[in-house]
Structure 1
Amino acid sequence: CELWVVEEGTAYRFEKDFDGYRDKVLDQLAEREAEVERMEQRRREERAAKRARMGIDKAKLQELRKQKEKELEEEEKQKEKEFAEKAKKAAEEAKEAEAAKKAAQEKAAKKKAEEESEEES
């Protein structure tokens, strides 16, 4: 019995018996399975590397976010401090203006009292 094999676009007579052909097919199958396993392993490694890069990127992003939040918090504290200083200064100026107004009123009242006492005399 002759065994003819048709594969890869050609046909040829297989020199060995059917058991030899079976061994050849099983070897080819094992080679394909090994190649598929290598490809799958490569894909797993690439995905792991990508996850690792994303993890690093995520860590960097969180670090930058914390840094930015800290900067914003410091800016907010600085603005609050400046606002408090301006409010304090405005209150002091208002107090000084009130004191000057009161002094002017007292001076005017004193002057008026002096004028009235001069008129009576």
Structure 2
Amino acid sequence: MSVLVNVRGWLECDDQQLARIREIVEQDDPDRTYSGGWAFPPRQYNFVNWVLFGAQMRDHSVGWFLDRLRSVARIPASDEDNDLITGLFLVSHEVDGMSEWQVRDGTVVIQAASETYRFLNE
């Protein structure tokens, strides 16, 4: 029996970054990976685009997802504001507990999640 991990979160980006995120996600075969967990709202509002992700995956696939997320985090700024992609993911591991993955500054920062989010695992 394998260990399950719930991954849930979102990214904030601009139009050009959104196009690049789509390219990265579409490189994976949705029938063979958890890439089907990505959601791109059909209509974005105002100046920020949102990309969502949610999936319950087997433990051995978490590294694959983290690699994709790191690729997304490295997408450069594309406008004069110099804004990089930001986001937040809560990762609940059946054995290791919950962690918080912050997408910021061109990387993914992983740390223990606040006890505030414990209700998500009950």
Whether these two folds match at TM > 0.5 is: no
Task: Please indicate the TM-score interval, normalised by the length of the shorter structure.
Answer: under 0.3
| TM-score normalised to structure 1 length | 0.20
Q: Rg bigger for which structure?
A: 1
Q: Which has the higher contact order (CA 8 A, sep 6+)?
A: 2
